[in-house]
Structure 1
Amino acid sequence: MSELNLLPLLGIVIVVFGFALRFNPLLVVCVAGLATGWAVNIDFISLLETFGEKFMNSRQLASFLLILPVIALLERYGLQQRAKSWVASIKSVTTSRILSVYFIVRECSAALGLLSLAGQPQTVRPLLAPMALGAAANMHGTLPKHIQDLISAHAAACDNIAVFFGEDIFIAFGAVLLMDAFLKENGIAGIEPLHIGLWAIPTAIAALIVHLFRLARLEAKIHHLMNEFNHCSTVEMSEELS
């Protein structure tokens, strides 16, 4: 029996140690790829051709990564502060109304296949969460840390839940096509992607109703937590003065 060659696993070792030592992720992955190519006796030119081919096939992912520095640059120059101040100038806006409108728009856009129209890095962090925080601060004043975290968590949940239940309606979505292929492979005929998308609509509507109810309760919860916080602050000040 031929001896097992463990050299091709060298790339995994490099990735593990590189990430553990917090080196540049892109550099670690490139070095791991080169080491793996060397271990399986791929010549250097062919290895570079493989790198270029995989990069070209994944260039859409690379373009998505460009969003991160753009958002960071906008935040550096006050995008979050501008969003907060703009919302604070509108007296009738509340946290639950902002999040509810976003949830409806996000779920409808996901149902149409527009998954990249919004998202956590490009919308929730720089815009939605600051706007929700600004609306709460406009009504209740300075917010303590635990209430800020609560509102930010609900903002992130709006995006996740809306996309999760909305994307199944889009018949060209990968999960819908996967379910269709799985059913056909197991001899279950007569079910098309359109049927799966249509049956996802009641679930999406139910998720919409449940989450809008949760967001309506969020406003009351913020008010209750702020009253508790203000009461505790008053008691502490009284104890200090006495």
Structure 2
Amino acid sequence: MDIQLYLPLIGIPIIVLGFAFRFNPLMVVTLAGLVTGLAVGLDFGTLLETFGEKFLNSRQLSSSILILPIIGLLEHYGLRERAQEWVSGIRSATTGRILMLYFVVRELTAMLGLLSLGGQAQTVRPLLVPMAEGVAQNAYGDLPPELRDRIAAHAAACDNIALFFGEDVFIAFGAVLLMTTFLKENGVGQIEPLTVGLWGLPTAIAALLIHLVRLSRLDAKIATEVQAWRLAQQAIVKASA
């Protein structure tokens, strides 16, 4: 067995172990890339040059890094608090309704190719999560930490699911173009990007309906959890009295 053939795969167990022990994902992937490069005979200077070249060629990565300090600055000056105050003044708003509205808008804009209008860093964390939490706090007062985490998880899931299924309908999406190119190279020449996008539409609609049903039950779950938490707190107070 020639061990040299398996050296390029050394980064795989590093990624698996790093994720299993919940280390920083960026550090794990970077370490795996460095170890793999050194294992196949690249010198350290060439590795740094390769990392720098790929970084500069990745517009999406560069734009994300530029967005993060801007979002941090806005949060420092009260973006989350202003979002909570604004949504708390809307009487008909509930946590489930806000998330449903965001899901619909996010999926529709993704279908049109407007992928950068939302996102975890620029929309979910600084705006959507505070708004969803603010409505619940306005209705029930203080929330248990577990419930706050669950609301944040629902908000993040709305963005991920809506984007994942919505972008498959956009005919200029990279995955759609990759599928059509692959099919044409293998003799299936009648498939066009529009056809792939149309076939992705039923799945996107199904994902929308399923998630809206889940979110429609969220408000009732929040009320139940808050009530159970308050009863538990009262029991603790009575036991300690």
Shorter-chain TM range is 0.7 to 0.9
CA distance in 1, matches of 2:105, 2:138: 24
**1:158-211 CA distances to partner (integer Å, 9 max, x unpaired)?**
000000110000011011111112222332232111001011111111111111
The equivalent of 2:139 in structure 1 is: 139
Quick one: distance in 1 between partners of 2:43 and 2:121?
40
Which residue in 1 is equivalent to 2:180? Answer: 180
User: How many Å separate the matches in 1 of 2:51 and 2:157?
Assistant: 37
CA distance in 2, matches of 1:186, 1:177: 14
Shift of the 201–143 alpha-carbon distance from structure 1 to 2, 3 Å rule, reads same
Equivalent residue number for residue 68 of structure 1: 68
Q: Which residue of 2 aligns with 1:114?
A: 114
Deviation at 1:149, TM superposition (A): 0.7
After superposition, the Cα gap between the structure-2 partners of 1:225 and 1:189, relative to the gap in structure 1 and judged at 3 Å, is: same
Alignment RMSD (CA, Å): 3.5
TM-score by length of 2: 0.79
Instruction: Please list every run of 5 or more consecutive structure 1 residues that lacks an aligned counterpart in the other structure.
Output: none
Contact 2:183–2:189 (8 Å) recurs in 1? yes
**8 A Cα contact 2:103 2:158, kept in partner:** yes
Tell me by how many angstroms 1:60 deviates. 4.9
Match of 2:142, SS state, is coil
- Report Cα offsets for 1:19-48 as digits up to 9, x if no partner: 9x99x97xx89xx6xx97xx7689x8x999
Residue aligning to 2:123: 123
More displaced stretch, 183-192 vs 222-231: 183-192
Q: How does 1:40-51 map to 2 (within 5 A)?
A: none
Q: Which amino acid aligns with 2:122?
A: Q
Return the letter of the residue paired with 2:93. Answer: V
User: Does the CA contact (< 8 Å) of 2:124 and 2:155 recur in 1?
Assistant: yes
Structure 1: how far apart are the matches of 2:129 and 2:93? 14
Q: In the alignment, which residue of structure 2 is the partner of 1:224? A: 224
**Which range is displaced more, 58-67 or 114-123?**
58-67
Task: Classify 1:54/1:150 alpha carbon distance in 2 versus 1 (closer, same or farther; 3 Å).
Answer: closer
Q: Which amino acid aligns with 2:240?
A: E
CA displacement 1:100-128 (0-9 Å, x = unmatched): 11000000010011111110000000000
TM-score normalized by structure 1?
0.79
Aligned to 2:90: 90
Q: 1:87 to 1:183 in 2, by over 3 A?
A: same
Q: Report the secondary structure of 1:187's partner residue.
A: coil
Q: Is the 8 A contact 1:120 1:156 kept in 2?
A: yes
Alpha-carbon offset, residue 75 of structure 1: 1.2
Matched to 1:167, the amino acid is: E
Q: Is the 8 A contact 2:55 2:61 kept in 1?
A: no
CA contact (8 A) 1:183 1:189 kept: yes
| C-alpha contact (below 8 Å) 1:91/1:138 kept by paired residues | no
Number of equivalenced pairs: 228
Letter in 2 for 1:119: G
State the secondary structure of the residue aligned to 2:217: helix
**Cα 1:208/1:40, change in 2 over 3 Å:** closer
